[in-house]
A and B are shown apart, each in its own frame.
Chain A
């Protein structure tokens, strides 16, 4: 079977362009975010992105701080226990990025609508609030009737709302385990990765580890993203760092705080990009940047047992790396 495993640089070269609708994020702000893909978007100087993130993550925070995003749509826009997302808020407050607000369920429903190719999704949430009446993408109309238009339930006659479906150009999705054909297992909450993988026109997976396909045959019920809808797989350990990946590594608390502090200013953001985006040549360089000691510490978390059933199918680092095609890093 031909492998879908390509390098991160090749994935960004092949599947992204300026001005595209780019979807990522994943399981809320502090876990399972395909942020390594976002770092590579910056390395290749992609800009003017329309970001679709179910909830903000450090990835959106970074892309916004670096000026790569013109428009964004999300539900939650903070960093949970790590506070406000300084890079994102700075871009919004300065008017460099326009953020369209929805709730977290609304984003999941809009992705489901895109996945099913529905014309709209009935809205029983977000109605009656400013999420319905205020539209950042169309600021001059108040109350806005185009963001979540009122529709009548044909059965009860009751008035509800209509959510527009989302069909992003690309979804970069973090998964814990993938095989070389793109069959994937996610440990921890899926958040909306199932819906996103069906809504996006193309899907690229960022996997913390590669496994033999026998693993998928052992646990087919757990393969919620099958290879038949996946374009490419990138092998990238610590793909969500400094965020967590249940079973694989814990959140890097110190880096989360330092990073968010840095993204709060123009100079800080530039320094962060210099030190943690442009500073490595390839995957091994990236892993060195995190540090051997830090990686060992983060991997030794209380959830490591979640990985136990799958360990026998994990491909060793060198073998996984050797599968990647597409040239440089």
Chain B
């Protein structure tokens, strides 16, 4: 039995549980960094963590870093290199085991949009979005090169769409063997972890299915918050709630309480 925890904390812990000890892992700023460093603080002390700026061997001090080059990480790094080194030599090369990325929109084949929100399809001629977002950043490089990656996203209908308006980071594209045909070095998204549950791709169609729900959610709530006809896996399960140990580890990393707001 554990104490009260937020939906965001459950999402971060469920994401962290996907990271295995000893893996070479890349985390972006924000929630994905909290999930990654939670894993390191809890069950995967030997995880080899890096940021896309080429900051190695660091663990955040004083709360969630403002950026991946922030002094909260620079304070105890053992190596500073560069974007070319981290995203190129270690990620696009295919060496990185696992990455974590976020999404403004995600679709049933795990394609991610972080570029913008348009009022309807973009159309034949490119036009600026109604709401401009943060762009692809290093997420596209992780999506193309990491052996597998995890997508962390708040579970809302506006975010879970049939087809993203703009593919910033490729998942399985049109599904089936579409991703293989492009010939990416990396394997693609292995899970979408949300504030309500976990989705995983069907091995053949690569369509994401509901694999598990959290103790506080359920299938109906998840279906109601998904913008496509989400299939439920035959092996549907409930995710074990955070242990006291896990919560304590997460809150040590999330010193400034980003996940409890």
A residues at B contact (CB < 8 Å): 27-32, 54-56, 74-78, 80-82, 84, 88-89, 92-93, 95, 98-99, 101-109, 112, 124-131, 134-136, 139-140, 142, 158-160, 187-195, 244, 246-247, 250-251, 253, 256, 301-303, 306
Contact = CB atoms under 8 A, between A and B. Distances in A.
B15 interface: no
B168 A139 contact: no
A55 B69 CA distance: 12
Contact of B145 (A92, A124, A128, A250): A124
A251 B133 contact: no
B137 interface: yes
A105 B141 contact: yes
Contacts of A29: 67
B66 A75 contact: no
Given A84-B134, A101-B115, A140-B125, 7 more contacts: A78-B134, A101-B135, A106-B141, A128-B182, A139-B127, A188-B69, A195-B84
A192 to B, nearest CB: 5
Contacts of B134: 76-78, 84
Most buried by A among B83, B135, B141: B83
Given A84-B133, A84-B134, A129-B168, A251 B71 contact: yes
B151 to A, nearest CB: 15
Contact of A190 (B80, B133, B140, B170): B80
Contacts of B168: 101, 129-131
Contacts of A253: 66
A75 B53 CA distance: 13
A131 B135 CA distance: 10
Interface string B47-63: 00001111100000110
Given A131-B136, A188-B80, A190-B81, A103 B141 contact: yes
B201 interface: no
A303 B140 contact: no
Interface stretch (B86-94, B204-212, B218-226, B243-251): B86-94
A124 B74 contact: no
B124 A244 contact: no
Contacts of B130: 93
B83 A192 contact: yes
Most buried by B among A77, A82, A160: A77
A104 B137 contact: yes
Nearest to A247: B74
Interface residues of B, number: 63
A187 B69 CA distance: 11
Interface of B: 29-30, 51-55, 61-62, 64-72, 74-75, 80-84, 87-88, 91-92, 111, 115, 122, 124-141, 144-145, 166-170, 173, 179, 182-185
Contact of A80 (B54, B68, B128, B145): B68
A136 B135 CA distance: 13
A253 B137 CA distance: 22
Nearest to B182: A128
Contact of A95 (B52, B128, B137): B128
B80 A81 contact: no
B183 A104 contact: no
B88 A105 contact: yes
B29 A105 contact: no
A124 B92 contact: yes
B126 A302 contact: no
Nearest to B179: A128
Contact of B82 (A81, A127, A191, A302): A191
Contact of A139 (B55, B68, B115, B125): B125
B132 A127 contact: no
B135 A30 contact: no
Given A101-B115, A139-B127, A81 B71 contact: no
B74 A188 contact: yes
A302 B62 contact: yes
